[in-house]
A = this chain, B = another copy of it.
Amino acid sequence: MEKLSTRDRIIEAAYTLFSEKGYHGTSTREIARAASVSEVTLFRIFGTKESLFEEVLKTKSIIPDLVAMIRDVENHSLEDLLFSLAKKFYYTLVSKKKFIMITFSEVNQYSEKIIDIYQKLIDQIDELLVKIFSKYKSTNKDFNLKIIAMAFRGMIFNLFLTNEILLRKNITKSEITHILSSYVKIILNSINR
């Protein structure tokens, strides 16, 4: 158990509360109490509630994790590679669940700039998948690999969304593994046939 700095304790408390009750649903007094600091300290460090919010988003963003995931792809058979990617993607989402909840509840207020960042990240994931697919595919003509990539990404993200966020199901790790490996097989069937 590390001792967190005052600043970090406030960020952690704000992160959790914003993800649970949204930006407008959380008061600064509440954040301060959850962090065991006085509200004055919160304002001394962050100035305004909004800049605290920005610091939370900056500190807790999922984007570096996903960029790392793309970078760290290993060289296996196609099936192993897709399966390990699927797991990494799923568990990255799980570990960043609170961030994703904040993203969803604040999604309408995002600027062009933030939307563009997400756009590029999604494009990168799809491009990586297409690159992997095209290295291994047998003869296929009538299938657009980019659409298969979108489908793969979509299945996994939606599995996360349904189980972890909407229904809050306690699904076992082996069930997840089974579903993800089935998803990989669905994709493989579409690439090689």
Interface residue ranges, A against B (CB under 8 Å)? 19-25, 101, 104-109, 115, 118-119, 122, 142-144, 147-148, 150-151, 153-159, 161-162, 165-168, 178-179, 182-183, 185-187, 189-190, 193
Bound-state CA distance A27–B156 (Å) is: 37
Tell me whether B157 and A109 are in contact (CB under 8 A). Answer: no
Nearest-CB residue, chain B, relative to A142: B185
Tell me whether B154 and A158 are in contact (CB under 8 A). Answer: yes
Residues of B contacting A186 in the complex (Cβ-Cβ under 8 angstroms): 148, 151, 186-187, 189-190
Residues of B contacting A20 in the complex (Cβ-Cβ under 8 angstroms): 108
Tell me whether A153 and B158 are in contact (CB under 8 A). Answer: yes
Bound-state CA distance A147–B154 (Å) is: 14
Bound-state CA distance A155–B19 (Å) is: 25
Which residue of B22, B142, B168 contacts A115 across the interface (Cβ within 8 Å)? B168
Known: A143-B182, A167-B115. A150 touches B159 (CB 8 A): yes
CB of A24 to closest CB in B, whole Å: 4
Q: 5 shortest A-B CB distances, which residue pairs? A: A154-B158, A24-B24, A105-B105, A154-B155, A104-B104
Bound-state CA distance A60–B12 (Å) is: 36
Bound-state CA distance A106–B150 (Å) is: 27
Residues of B contacting A150 in the complex (Cβ-Cβ under 8 angstroms): 155, 158-159, 162, 179
